[in-house]
Amino acid sequence: MVRYIDIHPVDPQQRTVEQAVAVLRGGGLVAYPTDSGYALGAQIGNADALQRIRSIRELDDKHHFTLVCRDFSQLGQFVRVDNSVFRAVKAATPGPYTFILPGTMDVPRRLLQAKKKTVGVRIPDHKVVRALVDELGEPLLSSTLILPGETEPMTQAWQIDEAIGDRIDAVIESGDEVIGEPTTVIDLSEGYAVVSRVGAGDPTPFE
């Protein structure tokens, strides 16, 4: 049975945050709530967890994985951002957006989109996620928990347990209602904005 870890949505308890991060540092794959549904998360260097995510979601090499960052300075370590892109991303974060940008040398090659060498980055507006990333000390390798054949992220811990509990190591619960709408994806890899997916974030500033 999958392990459940309860973290308070407004005032995340350090003890339980540390428990969740210990699972990640131990090579675990966790399902965790964000401001746009549940996601699967692991450490950046965890190649086994990356393959487990690919298997659970049935992803090909065209898929963009996401690095969930604590703040803009951390984001800037892993993607290349020019001045115009900087202003666009800065204005929309934190929030339910994923930005596709060229990865830096700090991103493992296996996380980069095979052809374009790009990666997704985001800064969620969710206290539990930001507490996890802060304690982890690095971005969280992440992929929205949308099962094959579905279009919306999972939102209930018990449903995640029933569907994939034998394929992950922990489910984090935060007690608040999880909104089942994926992020809006903005591709900025060519220096201008292309709205790749309309989701929870208002796409208007990028159209």
Q: Report how far apart the first and last C-alpha atoms of the chain are (Å, whole number).
A: 45
Q: Alpha carbon 9 to chain centroid distance?
A: 17
pLDDT tens for the chain, 207 residues long, are 789 999 999 999 999 999 999 999 999 999 999 988 899 999 999 999 999 999 999 998 778 899 999 988 898 899 998 888 888 888 999 999 999 999 999 998 888 887 889 999 999 999 999 999 999 999 999 999 999 999 889 999 999 999 999 999 999 998 877 777 889 999 999 988 999 999 989 999 988
Strands 170-173 and 184-187 turn out to be unpaired
Strands 194-197 and 118-122 turn out to be unpaired
- What would the pLDDT profile of 62-107 be if each residue is shown by its tens digit? 788 999 999 888 988 999 988 888 888 889 999 999 999 999 999 9
pLDDT given at position 85:
84
pLDDT given at position 131:
96
Give φ, ψ of 101 to 5 degrees: -145, 160
Answer for the pair 19, 123: CB distance below 8 angstroms, yes or no.
no
User: Residue 142's closest CA among 76, 53, 75, 63?
Assistant: 53
pLDDT given at position 2:
86
| Angle (nearest 5°) at CA 42 between 35 and 197 | 45
Answer for the pair 53, 147: CB distance below 8 angstroms, yes or no.
no
Residue ranges with strand state E in the chain: 3-6, 30-34, 37-43, 66-68, 97-102, 118-122, 140-144, 170-173, 184-187, 194-197
Question: Distance between CA 92 and CA 80 in Å, rounded?
Answer: 17
User: Structural domains in the chain?
Assistant: 3-206 (3.90.870.10)
